[in-house]
Structure 1
Amino acid sequence: MDKPSRQYAHSCPREKPNTRDDARLARGLARRIATWPALDQALWAASCAHTDPLDDPGYGSTLRLASRFKIARGYSYWLIFLREQDWLDETAAPGDRLSDARSAAWFRALKARGNRAGTIIGRFAELNLAIRVLTPDADRSCVLQPHGASVRQRLNDDRRGFLTPDARVLYREGYRLMDTAEPSKRDRWRSQLLQYRDGLFFAIQAARARRLGTVAQTTISGNLSRVDDRYWLVYTPDQIKTGRADRVLLPKRLNPYIDRYLTEIRPQLLRGQIHDALWAGTLGEPLAERGIEKLVRKRSRHLLGVSIGTHRFRHAIGTTAPAVNRAQPRLGGVVLNISEAVAREHYNRANADLATELFHQDMLERTDDANNRAWLSKTSQ
């Protein structure tokens, strides 16, 4: 790699250090920035440059030296990771190098290196702030909530102690698995069949989320039916935990995927066995509760960085539905076929999550205002 130009070696206009610690931080900051692509150095310098008080200051210029050093250090770790994966395009804007997949891969890499929860959370916070300094208009959602859930949630560091993923992310993952499955590949045809099956399972569960025991009992002739142009899952009271009959209308978009599973994928999975279970296992046998839980944990670990159980689909719907449809707060309970009280007490975390997000946003805005006032006051003096 070409040596970075000296033009941006100090990241921003020099500040007179107040103490030895400031001098050390300034030297360390310059060394960090010197390893960055030239474009990143230029953007950092522009954001950190002091401007006329009447101009809109760059976010970097509102930060103290210690904050700049910490953010730059974290961003350097991110660039090192991108280089190791051969993902670093030095001509691309910093925000364009972000993606949910890369955030998830970095999360797994940090965990594999033995970093503690606080360190991992800090690395993502530093990356978020660095992108804000470098390209303030960039979409940072894949850093704040990669694949629909925050890093803090993935590390089980929240009050409830477990991850509540966004149901839309799980639903989208189901279609991705089905759309990318290629059962025609001779060398991997079996794994591709299982990928398609798992994708259909994810899509159905993310949309309707029935309990594990009910799902494991699902049969084609006894529970699955097609009326006109829609598929239904109809369960008898003895198949439901609450003892109430349940009728589940599946999304119309799933029609061609269910058709293909029934006519092409499932017959190949059966390996000559004959049974009525909707979900077939690896050896063709009916997929039991343990097998269903295993496939969910395997696929979710790849998607989210941590594994979740089948029941977590219900929490996902209970939280996502009222958050997305605020005019219908009871929607989650209706989809899950449970009472409003149960949905509110055990499944809906939307109000707490939204309140937390609003509180954090308010705190950030107040902090930014305070920083800007302090900077303007210092400049006027």
Structure 2
Amino acid sequence: MSAVAERLSLPRAEWPPPDQAALDLAVAPDDDLLGDGGSAAELRPDTLVALIQGYGQWLAFLLRIEELDPNEQPGDRPTMARLAAFRRDNKARGLEPTTRRQMLIHLRAMLRHLVPGRDWGFITRPNGVPLKRAIPGRPREFRIRDVSEVLRLVRKLHRDALIGADGPERRRDLRDAALIGMLLTRAPRVGSIVHMDMTWHILPGEGGSWSVRFPPQHTKNHHSLSYPLDGEVSAMLNDYLVEARSSFPSAGRSDHLWMGMKGPLTKQGLQRIMRRRTSEWFGEAHGPHICRKWLRAAAARVSPELAIDTAVVMGHTVQTALDAYTEASGLHAALRYGDQTEERRAQIGSRRERLVRDRVDRWLER
């Protein structure tokens, strides 16, 4: 395979001059507050990095098919024929449907900044078809884990770390217990967790308790979010802060709450932690987002109304919270019916046992 064929995303420094110039304008800050800054200037750093990488994938594709004209304007590149070839190429490379859809979404989003004022909606509606219909997903097996079951494993991880010998493994175990405990009981998003620092995001309370708060720029829906941590998780967080965090490399040079062995914990690092722990515990790896599903399912088992509260704590929109309520109502009804069925079976079983016992007693009395 040639070096050109291996390029999956073209770095920004290697973009054609028209594309680089358009991006420079898009990210230009509004220093004089006259409203002439670029539309991408206010994007979160992580979002901008994702869009640049996604647009680099588009340019790398054009380079592979030898249609990357260095003098062509960014707005002239996405023709219907090229976009169709881009979709076919991504499918031929074996990319998951979700990844293929996300690449088109990122391309559309970046073009809105590079070439503002034009309608780029056709990129995510090929031939007028919604993207999820044009690139349907594959059915995936999903097993609901009882949150209390997972928490028992987290407690054991925490207890074993407290009595273990000091060293990197103990520090990681204390961190992972506090981190996964927070994910299981409050389910913050990955993008919110990696931004947490020691001064703003956590607040000490009475009796060793802790509260967490996220500003709008650190939530997906751009709404501030705050809540107290569970008492047990507060204790785990306190043990991590007192006995582990300061011993991580770079901890003294960073204000980030969650530390890794090479510096502040990243999204990729958090993914690896969760996948490694769930693989050890259940024989199947899950990313941190699974905790949001498990927590919502646990709430639905208790009450549909609790599913709405859980959705709000997770930072979902009102519509998503209502969808969670509808879903939970059906699940709760099914669970309630199942419980009633089991209770009925138990009652029938008890009557049969009494009938048999009465028959035996009568036989013995003869």
TM-score (norm 1): 0.48
Which of the pair has more CA radius of gyration? 2
